[in-house]
Amino acid sequence: MSLYDEGHTIAGWTGVAIAAVGSGGVGLGVCTASVPAVVGGLVIVAVSALVTWLLHLSGWGKPPGVRPRDQWGMRVRDTRAREGHTGCVACRLAGRGRSAANAAPVPVAQGEVRAES
């Protein structure tokens, strides 16, 4: 089993659900040749990106990479989100990101297996 557990977050699933509705609106607009439906669907897709970003910044998205097993649950809020995640584009866009050079190392519990990149 992978230690990365990517995408299992409230932010991720909410964004996907909103984007699916927007994509459906775009598809409906294309099938009916309705420019307002296409534009409306594209606006909803853009809103899904903003909602996902805001949820990630508020702690409902997880950082990329390896996380401890107790933080794998979808309902577990990320307490380090306010500081920004190392290598995270969303955090960097918000001015929170830490570069890999000045980031503090994450402690590894004894006996814990680290995934190799």
* Tens of pLDDT, residues 55-110: 988 888 877 677 777 777 777 787 777 777 777 777 778 787 655 555 555 555 56
Whose CA is closest to 58, among 71, 72, 77, 75? Answer: 77
Higher-pLDDT residue of 114 and 22 is 22
User: What secondary structure does DSSP assign to the chain, as a single string?
Assistant: --S--TT-SHHHHHHHHHHHHHHHHHHHHHHHT-HHHHHHHHHHHHHHHHHHHHHIIIIIS--SS---GGG-STT---TTTTT--BT-HHHHHTT--B-TTTPPPPP--TTPPPPP-
At residue 73, the pLDDT reads: 77
What is the spatial distance between Cα 20 and Cα 47, in angstroms, rounded to a whole number?
12
At residue 113, the pLDDT reads: 56
At residue 68, the pLDDT reads: 73
At residue 56, the pLDDT reads: 86
Please, which pLDDT band fits residue 115 given cuts at 50, 70 and 90? low
- Kindly report, residue by residue over 9-44, the tens digit of the pLDDT: 888 899 999 999 999 999 999 999 999 999 999 999
At residue 99, the pLDDT reads: 54
At residue 92, the pLDDT reads: 77
